[in-house]
Chains A and B, each alone.
Chain A
Amino acid sequence: MMKKPSKSWDAMGKDELLRAVQANQFAVRDLMLYLDTHPTDANALSALMLRRQDYADAADAYAKRFGALTVMHVNDEDGWVAWSNTPWPWEKEAN
């Protein structure tokens, strides 16, 4: 699939980037529900792939600059200490 020219994730501020991660993740899950009842719908599948790529890029961009959002995005340079020091989901700063 042709790699879509990636949006300038790096130009986004922290909150905007976090919204992009959340919005794209939501869209992937919602399209998943549609695909469960329309498994052969190619439009739906490509729409999901597109947003899944945006989610991955946005989450990577966020991790690079503000710390990993999920354990899947912890990178070995910062290591585990940095991961456990960033705000936890239930802490005010995380939202």
Chain B
Amino acid sequence: MLQDQTIPVVPEGTFPPRMSLAMAYVPFQCWEEPLPEYKALCQGTVFASLAKPFMMGKGGRSYDEEAVEVMGRDGKG
């Protein structure tokens, strides 16, 4: 990796030591305590880091009432 390049601070071991330019990298997932199973079922994953609900209303769009009823105001169901 070139000296002056900066990569975001990520947990150790989630990126290969040497990374070539012009390649896309997905950081390797590290273990984290799983969510309680009921919450995990609603979120669709046992890992909080992977729970990426669709954030309605961001970017100035108004909330879609029907979607809010299903997904809740924060999109977390």
- Name A residues whose Cβ lies closer than 8 Å to a Cβ of B: 19-20, 22-24, 26-27, 30-31, 34, 37-38, 41, 43-44, 47, 51, 54
Contact = CB atoms under 8 A, between A and B. Distances in A.
B2 interface: no
B25 interface: no
Interface stretch (B3-11, B36-44, B52-60): B36-44
A22 B41 contact: yes
Interface string B9-53: 000000000000000000001010010011011000111000000
The 4 closest A-B pairs by CB, nearest first: A23-B37, A23-B41, A27-B37, A30-B46
B29 A26 contact: no
Interface of B: 29, 31, 34, 37-38, 40-41, 45-47
Contacts of B41: 19, 22-23, 26-27
A41 B31 contact: yes
B48 to A, nearest CB: 12
Given A31-B46, A34-B47, A43 B40 contact: no
